[in-house]
Amino acid sequence: MSDERAVSDLRPLWDLAKPCANPHKGWYHHYYDNGAANYQLRSDDDLLLFPGMDHLYIRLSWRHFEPLEGVFDWHWIDELVETWVPRGLRISVRVTSKETNETYATPAWVRDAGAQGNVVPSQDCEMWVPLYDDPVFLAKLAAFHKAFGARYAAQPWLAYVDIGSIGTWGEGHEWPGGQRASIDTIAHIIDLHVACYPGVTLVIPDEIAHFDRPVAEEDQIRALVESRGVCWRDDTPLVGYFVRTHAQTFSVVRPDYFARTYRQRPVILETDHYPIVKRQGNWKGHNGSEVGADILRGALGLMHATYLGYHGHADAWLADNPGLAVELLNQCGYWYAPATLAMPATIRPGETIRLAIAWDNRGVAQAYHRYDLELQLSGPDDLRLRQDGSDNRTWLDGRSTEERYELAIPPSLRAGRYTVSLRLWDPLTARPVELALHDVLRDATGFYRIGSVDCGIIPGSSAP
Asked whether residue 118 is domain-assigned, the answer is: yes
3-state secondary structure the chain: CECCCEEEECHHHECCCCCCCCCCCEEEEEEECCCCCCCCCCCCHHHHCCCCEEEEEEEEEHHHHCCECCECCCHHHHHHHHHHHHHCCEEEEEEECCCCCCCCCCCHHHHHCCCCEEEEECCCCEEEEECCCCHHHHHHHHHHHHHHHHHHCCCCCEEEEECCCCCHHHCCCCCCCCCCCCHHHHHHHHHHHHHHCCCCCEEEECHHHHCCCCHHHHHHHHHHHHHCCCEEEECCCCCHHHHHHCHHHCCCCCHHHHHHHCCCCCCEEECCCHHHHHHCCCCECHHHCCECHHHHHHHHHHHCCCEEECCCCHHHHHHHCHHHHHHHHHHCCCCEEEEEEEECCEECCCCEEEEEEEEEECCCCCCCCCCEEEEEEECCCEEEEECCCCCHHHCCCCEEEEEEEEEECCCCCCCEEEEEEEEEEECCCCEEECCCECHHHECCCCCEEEEEEEECCCCCCCCC
Same domain? For 12 and 40 the reply is no
The answer to whether residue 21 sits within a structural domain is: no
Same-domain status, 351 and 306: no
Residue 418 and residue 278 in one domain: no
pTM of the model: 0.95
Q: Given 331, 347, 376, which residue is the final one in a domain? A: 331
Of 284, 315, 331, which residue is a domain's last? 331
- Considering the domain architecture, whether residues 61 and 198 belong to the same structural domain is answered as yes
Q: Are residues 87 and 183 in the same domain?
A: yes
The residue among 298, 331, 364 that closes a domain is 331
Residue 224 lies in a domain: yes
Residues 228 and 281 in one domain: yes
- Yes or no: say if 95 and 165 are a contact pair by the CB < 8 Å rule: yes
Q: Do 228 and 101 belong together in one domain?
A: yes
Residues 387, 280, single domain; the answer is: no
Q: Is residue 283 part of a domain?
A: yes
Both 316 and 364 in one domain: the answer is: no
Residues 268 and 151 in one domain: yes
The CATH number of residue 402's host domain is 2.60.40.2950
CATH of residue 34: 3.20.20.80
462 falls within a domain: no
Q: Say what the pLDDT of residue 4 is.
A: 56
In a domain, 219, yes or no: yes
Asked if residue 176 has a cis previous peptide bond (ω within 30° of 0), the answer is: yes
Is residue 269 assigned to a domain?
yes
Residues 339 and 326 placed together within one structural domain of the fold:
no
Q: What total number of domains does the chain contain?
A: 2
Same domain, 96 and 35: yes
- Per-residue pLDDT in tens (0 to 9) along the chain, 464 residues: 445 578 899 999 999 999 999 999 999 999 999 888 888 898 999 999 999 999 999 999 999 999 999 999 999 999 999 999 999 999 999 999 999 999 999 999 999 999 999 999 998 899 999 999 999 999 999 999 999 999 999 999 999 999 999 999 999 999 999 999 999 999 999 999 999 999 999 999 999 999 999 999 999 999 999 999 999 999 999 999 999 999 999 999 999 999 999 999 999 999 999 999 999 999 999 999 999 999 999 999 999 999 999 999 999 999 999 999 999 999 999 999 999 999 998 999 999 999 999 999 999 999 999 999 999 999 999 999 999 989 999 999 999 999 999 999 999 999 999 999 999 999 999 999 999 999 999 999 999 999 999 998 544 444 33
Domain that holds residue 349: 6-16+335-455
Is 131 contained in some domain?
A: yes
